[in-house]
């Protein structure tokens, strides 16, 4: 097992499962991207299938590495999918940042086992490699710089749209079907809502989690 694979599928598995799912939903708050892409490539009608493809592409990179046949094929799929997407360099940097900053936010706020400094450095190096392989430039070097980039971008671009709300609800409905057993999906969704950043949840129009789940999350945060 590679170091990055151990990070994603070892003792921090819950951090990266929930954090990555929340990252996908968070991006639905970027108004200009959502309205431009709404309906593109069956985003609405095939939400679960698209989420599954995204998950498998990331899994190939994490489990096999960039220099493997599976990793090279995964990177090529990413390039092909994004070739005609109406997005600029700042959009791509934001999306890249969110895939690792949201798990880090969730881990710091809600996980029982927090990431150590060397694990955060490993995570950052992995996603910087993804960015370079995608042809991105001007990538920040440190986590504080990435967090500032995300903050500034969302201040400019995050806003409620009907399209974003619908896609966020579809993602919240479908993302749990990828790995969560049927009988636990309601609770997992409620846990995602309860640990979502409140400002993002408000922008997306998702409402609060159930009272019992919210109370449980609050009590664990105080423990």
Chain segment 102-131, per-residue pLDDT in tens: 999 999 999 999 999 999 999 999 999 999
- β-strand partners of 158: 30
Please answer whether residues 164 and 28 qualify as being in contact, where contact means their C-beta atoms are separated by less than 8 angstroms: yes
Determine the pLDDT at residue 42. Answer: 45
Q: Model pTM?
A: 0.90
- β-strand partners of 104: none
Question: φ, ψ for residue 158 (rounded to 5)?
Answer: -85, 125
Q: DSSP letter at 144? A: H
Enclosing H/E stretch for 92: helix 89-110
Q: What is the mean pLDDT of residues 195-211?
A: 92
Chain segment 1-44, per-residue pLDDT in tens: 789 999 999 999 999 999 999 999 999 999 998 877 655 544 54
Calculate the alpha carbon distances from 188 to 102, 115, 179 in Å: 17, 22, 11
């Amino acid at each position: 097992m590679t170091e990055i694979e151990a990070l994603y599928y070892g003792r921090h598995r819950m951090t990266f499962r929930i954090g990555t799912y929340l990252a996908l939903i968070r991006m639905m708050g970027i108004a200009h991207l959502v309205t431009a892409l709404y309906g593109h490539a069956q985003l609405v009608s095939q939400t679960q299938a698209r989420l599954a493809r995204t998950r498998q592409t990331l899994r190939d990179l994490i489990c096999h590495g960039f220099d493997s046949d599976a990793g090279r094929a995964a990177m090529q799929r990413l390039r092909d999918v994004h070739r005609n997407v109406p997005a600029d360099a700042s959009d791509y940097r934001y999306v890249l940042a969110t895939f690792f900053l949201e798990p880090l936010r969730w881990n710091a706020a809600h996980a029982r086992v927090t990431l150590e400094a060397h694990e955060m450095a490993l995570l950052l190096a992995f996603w910087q490699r993804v960015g370079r392989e995608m042809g991105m430039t001007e990538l920040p070097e440190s986590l504080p710089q990435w967090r500032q980039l995300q903050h500034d971008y969302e201040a400019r671009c995050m806003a409620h749209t009907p399209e974003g709300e619908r896609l966020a609800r579809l993602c919240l409905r479908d993302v749990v079907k990828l790995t969560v057993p049927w009988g636990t999906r309601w609770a997992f969704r409620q846990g995602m809502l309860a640990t979502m950043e409140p400002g993002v949840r408000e922008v997306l129009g998702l409402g609060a989690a159930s009272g019992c789940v919210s109370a449980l999350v609050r009590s664990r945060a105080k423990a």
